[in-house]
Amino acid sequence: MKKIIVIGSCNTDMVIKVDHLPLPGETIIGHDFMTNQGGKGANQAVAVARLGGNTQFIARLGDDGFGCQSQQLLQQEGIETTYVTLTEGVATGVAMILVDEKGENSIIVASGANALLSVDDIKAAEADICQASIVLMQLETPVETLMYAARVAHEAGVTVVLNPAPFPKEPLPVEFLKNLDLITPNETEASMMSGVQVKNEATALQAIRAIQALGVKNVIITAGSAGAYTEKDGQLLRIPAFKTEVVDTTAAGDTFCGALCVALSEGRSIKDAICFANKAASISVTRMGAWRSIPQRAEIVE
Ligand code: ATP
Ligand code: RIB
């Protein structure tokens, strides 16, 4: 089985449950506190591995306790970590996460070692990248590094998927977008990227067309409990989500992306792959946390 290579961040998440997300200047007393593994890149790598993909992760960790623990736990998930590098004297990425009663979250990331993932790190892994089936990336590591990886992968005929989260202040360079095969923004990211406020099916189609005009052929907009939108033969296709009890949506988008890549690497159509991804993500929202919420393949009923 060819590899799915995930390039991205690895964080330790510090989570507090709250009744509501605090307003600016407001102090509130929260409920339970937990520390768990997260980071968009690592979440997506774990999703790929648990759902049956042959997974390799490219990332930078700090040489602190969090970094050493993360490296071990990634390996326990069966993820290939040759290019997960511990960086001397640097902190591992950390995310402070608040989760409210409706399962909505608010997240701040201190990037630490994630910000040091470099073009040289990608050059070291270039031979592996060129032989992968899919390269999956997000935006918690430097864009120049990802741009380089996307170019190398695209030139080798490898499918390149970008989950454009968190969306940067500056627009993504055209040079980057032209090397992507598929992009998976949520509604907010799709709105920021396209300039079209996504709030229903009509605006989702407009946004997809605007993003396609930027140079990415395949666009999937994830839409929370509404599922996901894509375009086929000029028409909007909505693949509905699975109804479930929401506890915490953290890593729903990451689970969706990991699952999507596994299904695509198995040769499924985009529509079937989205359906599989909706199933996996709908399980993740029923559980607290990032890695700890991501389902195993056996949990997906098909
Ligand atoms: P997050 O940042 O919370 O991880 P996101 O904003 O990147 O998520 P969403 O569009 O909110 O992405 O959700 C991704 C996918 O997760 C959806 O397409 C859907 O499959 C699933 N999902 C999210 N929320 C729900 C929900 N309330 N019920 C069922 N499935 C959901
Ligand atoms: O997408 C969820 C992730 O965003 C969390 O695990 C947190 O680490 C931040 O990177």
Instruction: With residue 260 as reference, give the H or E element that holds it.
Output: helix 252-265
Q: Residues enclosing ligand 1, CB less than 6 A?
A: 165, 186, 222-225, 227-228, 241-242, 244, 246, 249-254, 256, 278, 281-282, 285
Neighbours of 33 (CB within 10 A): 9
In angstroms, what is the span from residue 70 Cα to ligand 2's centroid? 14
Tens of pLDDT along the chain (302 residues) come to 999 999 999 999 999 999 999 999 999 999 989 999 999 999 999 999 999 999 999 999 999 999 999 999 999 999 999 999 999 999 999 999 999 999 889 999 999 999 999 999 999 999 999 999 999 999 999 999 999 999 999 999 999 999 999 999 999 999 999 999 999 999 999 999 999 999 999 999 999 999 999 999 999 999 999 999 999 999 999 999 999 999 999 999 999 999 999 999 999 999 999 999 999 999 999 999 999 999 999 999 98
Give the per-residue pLDDT at 32.
Answer: 87
Q: Fill in the amino acid letter for 32.
A: D
Report whether 77 contacts 292 (CB < 8 A).
Answer: no
Give the per-residue pLDDT at 156.
Answer: 98
Atom 12 (ligand 1) nearest CA:
253
In angstroms, what is the span from residue 255 Cα to ligand 1's centroid? 9
Give the per-residue pLDDT at 104.
Answer: 87
Residues of 226-244 as b/e, b for ≥16 C-beta within 10 angstroms?
A: bbbbbbeeeebbbbebeee
Atom 20 (ligand 1) nearest CA:
278
- CATH class of this structure's domain 4-20+31-292: alpha beta
Atom 27 (ligand 1) nearest CA:
225
Question: Domain map of the chain by residue range?
Answer: 4-20+31-292
Report whether 37 contacts 74 (CB < 8 A).
Answer: no
Question: What is the Cα 11 distance to its own chain's centre?
Answer: 13
Q: Which of 259, 252, 254 is nearest to 287 (CA)?
A: 252
Residue 277 alpha carbon, nearest atom of ligand 1: 20
- CA-CA-CA-CA dihedral for 284, 177, 137, 270, to nearest 10: 50
Residue 252 alpha carbon, nearest atom of ligand 1: 4
